[in-house]
Structure 1
Amino acid sequence: MTDERTEDMPECALDWHRAGQGAVLATVIETWGSAPRPVGSQLAISGDGRMMGSVSGGCVEGAVVTEALEALADGRPRVLSFGVADEEAFAVGLACGGRISVLVEPVGAGPDALPEALLADLVAARAKGRAVALLTRPGTGERRLTTGEGDPLAGVIDARMRADRSGLEEDGWFIAIHNPPLRMIVVGAVHIAQPLLPMARACGYAPVLIDPRGAFGSAARFPGETIMDDWPDEAMAALAPDARTAVVTLTHDPKLDDPALIAALASPAFYIGCLGSTRTHAKRLLRLREAGIDDAAIARLHAPVGLDIGAKSPAEIAVSIMAQITQRLRQG
């Protein structure tokens, strides 16, 4: 049985190992051509052959499981390569015609196996929402878990964290990026929020809408969305924006926007955007300075919010906001 919740693979492998069932982690470390799953995708395999996750969308999982069980028996990791030409795609290998390399690592004791303690540290860091990278040099047994700070590969790790992109470096290190989930906090249940929230979700964010005005933040206007009706400063305190959080204020009402902005500027949120004209923003800056916000903090604000693409409709404005957030996330 396969479960597609691939984000939980380290946790699943650790649970199986600690339950005495045996566990193997298989990770896509390199791709060429039309590979079905991106680098960093993982498949967890238990000692009795159960699977969770995916390294190829079903194309080569059977072969990977066979190798994983052998790795569990001998305690040795291995790198597997799969690939075929497009015209042979449905006969054997990858149905998409690409090629992939998969690192298969048994958990626990054994020659160069993935140590339980290291896997437990990774799981603990993920549970705390810390951005970390697990570095592995296939074939040597060298591994280390790092935030990137002070690491010899700090610059490379930082760039990969910003891009959410695991990958194999020329020096042989495979850098597996484990970032906490992306979040977006939207203050103001206005028309722009209606297209913005599903756009954010499509881009991988978990959106939360804040608006204490019941007529605005209703389930009828935002079906299926997470809505908080607390005052923005209270809601922001509860949500605790981190470095993987974008904050967007849309109400035009200083009583709602300003407390949210003050809270956001005190947090490590990577993006803080405010709806409003240049004139409206100038008045906002005066209020923030009167509230004790310094110029360095104010410089973090993106206002008027969104890239200047000539957007007019609520949906177009939402596109411009999502584009600017993406630019900030990926380019720093």
Structure 2
Amino acid sequence: MIEDDVIADADWPLFGWSDDVRPMLARALAAGRPAALATLYKVEGSAPRGPGAQMLFDGRQASGYFSGDCIEGDVARHAAEVLADGAPRRLHYGMGSPWIDIRLRCGGALHVLLERIDLDSPAAQALLENARERRPCLWSTDGTDQQVLVGDDAPLLSLTQDPLRIERRYDPPRRLIVSGGDPGALALAQLAAEAQFETLLLRPGGPEGPSPFSKVTYLRGEPSALLPEIGVDRWTAYVGATHEDHHDLGGCLHALRHGAGYVAMIGAKSRAPARLAALAAAGATAEELARLHLSPGIAGLGKAPWEVAVGILAEIMQALNPTRERA
């Protein structure tokens, strides 16, 4: 998520870190600024981003990227025009483009739809409400007629031509819930937050004061009690990292039973049989237990907290990615 004080700076394009335009859209509309939404709807040949990638502009900030510096400045220029007159644009870069002075280093061609999102847009409000309620949906648009539709199992992007209309799927934001308070658990929470996950850190009996992580929601209490309140879905990962079974087993059981996209417990491999037996005794099915990651992460990265965190987060991204990138 781009912070409020980060502006679109071509010298330091931190805006490209964000892969979800909804947080910036919410901020722009709340501040009384309409936005220009750019959607990459067709790619020919090689390109850094695939169809469905998006950028957002509100006259002050930008979010997302398409090419890594080849066309972003020109898209921003057209976005300013869309914000000014409200008319959508269809942009074509690369092979066959009318702009011979803009070349793509990777070859190929990119096709982009630019549309204005007004302050009173019912579709924009529905899009943001679905995100808050963690419901998948489709943004359906021809550049002028904007609608939000139910879209649980739709591809990431689909389109019809002549006239052009695109449908872009939005899933709930990826979320990681970590229980624990040792350096490894803290490193995992901090790294996930920086990687654009909604991140919650649960510490049974933890400190009463605030956590040192501004982007991490800190909650004191038992995972088994907190997870039903937070809610778990297939876009959620849960990692039990207290190293205490009486804390982590209940959280894992709830996450498995409610369809979390990734569930893990940190600990020595020698503890796995006892943990599996305890979960089975508590009612976990064989199918649920098969989805549990014990001693999670990528082997060979090292044992230091950041090394362990990188390995686990990579495994989480891999597990959640097929849900996000069906296309």
Query: TM-score with structure 2 length normalisation?
Result: 0.70
The answer to which of 35-44 and 269-278 deviates more is 35-44
Structure 1 pair 69/271, CA: closer, same or farther in 2 (3 Å)?
same
Q: Indicate which of 193, 202, 215 corresponds to 1:201.
A: 193
Matched, 1:184 2:176: yes
Residue identity opposite 1:78 in structure 2: R
In the TM superposition, residue 79 of structure 1 has moved relative to its aligned partner by 0.7
- Name the SS for the 1:181 alignment partner: coil
Structure 1 pair 257/9, CA: closer, same or farther in 2 (3 Å)?
closer
Identical residues among aligned pairs (%): 25
2 CA distance for matches of 1:137 and 1:292? 50
2 CA distance for matches of 1:116 and 1:169? 23
The aligned counterpart of 2:3 is none
2 CA distance for matches of 1:295 and 1:148? 27
The aligned counterpart of 1:64 is 79
Matched, 1:7 2:22: yes
- 1:176-255 equivalences under 5 Å are 176-214=168-206, 222-224=212-214, 225-255=216-246
Are the counterparts in 2 of residues 248 and 274 from structure 1 also a CA contact under 8 Å? yes
Matched, 1:124 2:124: no
Matched, 1:41 2:54: yes
Structure 1 pair 58/256, CA: closer, same or farther in 2 (3 Å)?
same
Query: In the TM superposition, what whole-angstrom CA distance separates every residue of 1:100-133 from its partner, at most 9, and x where no partner exists?
Result: 543133568xxxxxx9554454343233221223
In the TM superposition, residue 35 of structure 1 has moved relative to its aligned partner by 7.3
Q: Indicate which of 293, 306, 329 corresponds to 2:284.
A: 293
- Name the SS for the 1:192 alignment partner: helix
Are the counterparts in 2 of residues 273 and 305 from structure 1 also a CA contact under 8 Å? yes
- Name the SS for the 1:286 alignment partner: helix
Query: In the TM superposition, what whole-angstrom CA distance separates every residue of 1:212-243 from its partner, at most 9, and x where no partner exists?
Result: 2336x9767x5544322212222222321222
Residue identity opposite 1:274 in structure 2: M
Query: In the TM superposition, what whole-angstrom CA distance separates every residue of 1:159-213 from its partner, at most 9, and x where no partner exists?
Result: x3xxxxx576899764423222221111111221132223212322122211123
Matched, 1:314 2:301: no
Larger Rg: 1
The answer to which of 30-39 and 260-269 deviates more is 30-39
The aligned counterpart of 1:81 is 92
Are the counterparts in 1 of residues 136 and 171 from structure 2 also a CA contact under 8 Å? yes
In the TM superposition, residue 281 of structure 1 has moved relative to its aligned partner by 1.6
Are the counterparts in 2 of residues 168 and 174 from structure 1 also a CA contact under 8 Å? yes
Which stretches in structure 1 are left out of the alignment for 5+ residues?
109-114, 161-165
Query: In the TM superposition, what whole-angstrom CA distance separates every residue of 1:19-51 from its partner, at most 9, and x where no partner exists?
Result: 9x9876443434677779995323356xxxx56
The aligned counterpart of 2:11 is none
In the TM superposition, residue 301 of structure 1 has moved relative to its aligned partner by 0.7
Which stretches in structure 2 are left out of the alignment for 5+ residues?
1-5, 9-14, 66-70
Query: TM-score with structure 1 length normalisation?
Result: 0.69
Structure 1 pair 36/94, CA: closer, same or farther in 2 (3 Å)?
farther
1 CA distance for matches of 2:178 and 2:250? 13
1 CA distance for matches of 2:34 and 2:301? 57
The answer to which of 51-60 and 93-102 deviates more is 93-102
